[in-house]
């Protein structure tokens, strides 16, 4: 699906964070030790990111209709949120999710450069998602 408006981009971002939180909750339930703590932490971070995205959308609602966005397609960033039974497979899948999410936020920030505050928010969340992928490497 083409993410052609500010609202569509932030709706996709909010859904991505909500699905990520549920995915990490599921991984945490099936894991033990350090991995369980990491997955629970990532779930909490995704919930926090969703709040940030929702707040950003509310604060910039007037700008939602000003400028069209092109070249941002949700299929390029879609991931499976099915929780695997194996901890290592879960970590590998989580790393793939984090890389796709990071790419989405980076690309979206470039497309929404006309709103500097929103751009900074998307860049910040994207950078966090890239850092999360690095943390997951230890559990693969």
The pLDDT score that the predictor gives to residue 65 is 58
DSSP 2: B
pLDDT tens-digit map of 69-114: 888 999 999 988 999 888 888 889 999 999 999 999 999 999 988 8
pLDDT tens-digit map of 53-76: 999 988 876 655 567 788 899 999
Q: Return d(Cα 61, Cα 35) in angstroms, integer.
A: 39
DSSP lists the bridge partners of residue 73 as 2
Domain spans of the chain?
A: 6-137
- Which candidate, 48, 49, 31, 45, places its Cα nearest to that of 93? 31
Phi/psi for 86 (5° steps) reads -95, 135
Does the pLDDT at position 41 exceed 90? yes
* 6-137 carries CATH number 1.20.1260.10: yes
Q: Return d(Cα 100, Cα 113) in angstroms, integer.
A: 20
Mean pLDDT of the region 119-124: 95
């Amino acid at each position: 699906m083409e993410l052609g408006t500010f609202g569509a981009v932030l709706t996709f971002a909010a859904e991505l964070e909500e699905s990520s939180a549920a995915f990490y909750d599921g991984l945490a339930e099936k894991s033990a030790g350090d991995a369980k703590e990491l997955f629970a932490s990532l779930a909490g971070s995704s919930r926090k990111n969703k709040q940030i995205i929702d707040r950003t959308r509310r604060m910039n609602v007037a700008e939602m209709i000003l400028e069209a966005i092109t070249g941002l397609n949700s299929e390029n960033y879609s991931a499976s949120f099915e929780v695997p039974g194996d901890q290592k497979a879960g970590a590998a899948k989580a790393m793939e999710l984090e890389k796709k999410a990071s790419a989405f936020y980076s690309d979206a920030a470039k497309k929404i450069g006309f709103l500097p505050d929103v751009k900074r928010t998307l860049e910040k969340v994207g950078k966090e998602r890239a850092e999360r992928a690095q943390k997951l490497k230890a559990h693969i």
